[in-house]
Each structure stands twice: as C-alpha cells, then as structure tokens.
Amino acid sequence: MIYAGCDLGTISAKAVLIEDGRILAAEVLPYKSLPRQAAAAVLDLALARAGADKDRIACCLSTGFGKKAVAFAHGEAAELICLHRAARALHPAVRTVIDAGGQSIRAFNLDADGRLTGSTANEKCAAGTGKFMEVMAQALEMPIEELSRAALASTRPLSITSQCGVFAESEVITHVNEGRDRLDIFAGISLSVAGKVAGLVRRISLNREVVLVGGVAKNPCVVRDIERELQVELVRPEVDPQAVSAYGAALLAQDRGV
C-alpha cells in the first residue's frame, strides 16, 4: 500500500509518497494559484514520478499552513509532529532540528529516546524566512538560486541592519542605487538571515547532531553562514529539505494504517 503526506505551505506545496517506509516520490511545487489546486497538482506530480494511480493511496495526511485546503487528505497532523517523526526516521542521532521555511522558523530538541525536550518559534515576522529572501532577491533583480550560489564567493558582505523586511528591502535598494556589488549585498542578507536563525536556536540548548530543514536549507550561502554562527556542521537530510514535513506526514499515515 502507498501512503502519502502533503505539506501545504505559504509559498510551496510538497507531496511525498512512501511504500513500506521507502520513498517512492518527493515533489515540491512553488505556487501562486489557489492552495487547493496546488495541493492537487503536487500530488499528481508525485504520482506521475512514482508511476502510481491515486486509488493506490491507502491514507494521506496533510500538514502545514494550508493543511485544511488539501481536499483529498484523510486527516491532518501538526507540523511539529510531522517534523519530529521525519527527523527520527531520517537521522536518529539528531538532537536539534531547525526548520526555516517560507514564513516561519522553528527549532526543537530531542533526547536519545526521541522525546521532545524543548521548542521555540519566531514571532509573527517574516525576517529570516524564505519569503524574506525571495523579496530581497527580487529587489536585487536576480534569481535567488543564482544569488545563493554566487554569493559564496563574496569577500565583502554588506551589513543589513534592519530586522523588519520592509526596512531591510529599503536598505537593499539603497545599496543597489549606490552601485554596490549585488553579490556583496546578498552575502550581507545571508548573514542577516543566519543571525536571525541562530538567535532563535539559542533560546533552546543546541545539541549535536543538528539538522536544518525547510526551503532555506537549499540556500548554500545561508547554510554556510548558519554553520559559522552556530559553530556546527549541519546534517543534510536524505530527502529534499523542503519535503521533510510531508515525509513525516506520510510516515504518520503509514503508522495509522499498520
């Protein structure tokens, strides 16, 4: 039997299909359409990759900001529980999980038995999130994927002092108008994001091993800067970091069906 997890976030939809605990497909779909349509579209992508029909899905659980819009789900699961389930399955030795997504950042600790021992999350502010970085990349008029790779070579990152996204964007535009190098500007943005993530993590104890998931984990410049801020080598998840919550939802769906 196939089990599915669908994570509907604020800027992307994710779907994972598993069978006997093995990942058949993991798809991530950035979207601007209606959430219900995005959820259906990303599931279709996953089914096509797996070469499976929808009627083979025994159970599907939804999670994320838009979980109630996943019309085909058989139930819902809290995102923290999904992340916990996935982290234990992927990397049992991990003790701190950092989730930096489209509009939120959270972190939590696990003990050796997998019990949650502490957690924290950002306030209602997008600073340090994937959406924040997308807005900054738009201000720089370059694709974020290109910026995140090229900015690794920057040796003079420019300071971005504002924590508010609106004011930070104004700083970026000022730097651009002054003719500053775009890669140095983005390197400064990366440092700002890393500082925001590290500051959040320091509210709880930082216990090695540490894994970073969410869309921000796909930005090599930010990953490097977070490692430097926290003085750790981050564990790379064995699945698309954006799809980790969806994977956890699929595992929970399988748990229900056992």
What are the helix and strand counts (H, E) for the chain?
A: 8, 9
C-beta of residue 147 within 8 angstroms of C-beta of residue 242: no
Spans in the chain with pLDDT lower than 50: none
3-state secondary structure of 220: helix
pLDDT at 142: 87
| Secondary structure (3-state) at 57 | strand
Residue 123 has a pLDDT of 65
| pLDDT value, residue 122 | 83
Q: Report pLDDT for 183.
A: 93
Give residue-wise pLDDT tens across range 49-106.
999 999 999 999 999 999 999 999 999 999 999 999 999 999 999 999 999 987 788 9
Report the C-alpha gap between 18 and 1 in whole angstroms.
Answer: 9
pLDDT, position 6: 98
Task: Give the pLDDT score at 164.
Answer: 66
> Topology of domain 1-91+238-258, per CATH?
Nucleotidyltransferase; domain 5 (3.30.420)
The fourth-level CATH superfamily of domain 94-236 is ATPase, nucleotide binding domain (3.30.420.40)
What is the per-residue pLDDT for 84? 96
pTM comes to: 0.91
Look at residue 71 in the predicted model and tell me its pLDDT.
95
CATH 3.30.420.40 boundaries in the chain: 1-91+238-258, 94-236
